[in-house]
Amino acid sequence: MENLTIRREGGALLLKYAGEITLEMTGDLKRRLDRELGEGDVAVVVIDLSAVPFMDSSGIGLLVSVNTRMKSAGKAFYLYQLSPAVEKTLGLVQLIGFFTVLPDQAALAGVCG
């Protein structure tokens, strides 16, 4: 998945996917994320959604599943920089407030300690 950028900062795993998040992609993204979470100690997951021009309900399902997995392990999950399309899709199902969205780089740096 050349559109997927993954980096680690301290105990944080930062993912950025550039492209549409639809049924076609969610399976691969979830498997890739599962593999990353199995390697080393990850206390925080951040997903950057700034370069996602389109997301459907399977993308919402992916975000919910990662959120549940992290929170049930007592860990943190954040979204970072929602594209307008992602903001609209999450807004439609009233989930903007359900996730914690980091507004800027300072907030991002704050959770990557």
Partner 1 sequence: MERAVTRKVFRTISHPGDSRRLAKEVVDYLAGHVADGDILHDLDIILTEACANVCRHAYGGEPGPLEVRLAVTPGAWIELEIVDWGQGFGSGVRFENPGPDAEGGRGMYIMRMLASDCRVQRRDGENVVFIHKDIGAAQWKT
Site residues for partner 1 per CB under 8 A: 20, 22-24, 54, 56-58, 60-61, 64-65, 68, 85, 88-89, 92-95, 98
| 21 in Cβ contact with 55 (< 8 Å) | yes
Alpha carbons 103 and 19: distance in angstroms, whole number: 21
The distance of closest approach from Cβ of residue 82 to partner 1 in the complex, given in angstroms and rounded to an integer, is 15
Q: Toward partner 1, which CB reaches closer, 4 or 99?
A: 99
Alpha carbons 14 and 79: distance in angstroms, whole number: 10
Q: Toward partner 1, which CB reaches closer, 21 or 44?
A: 21
Q: Toward partner 1, which CB reaches closer, 11 or 100?
A: 100
Task: Give the burial class of 111: count Cβ atoms within 10 A of its Cβ; 0-12 exposed, 13-18 middle, 19 or more buried.
Answer: buried
Locate 111 and state its tokens: 């959770």
The distance of closest approach from Cβ of residue 54 to partner 1 in the complex, given in angstroms and rounded to an integer, is 7
Q: Toward partner 1, which CB reaches closer, 16 or 59?
A: 59
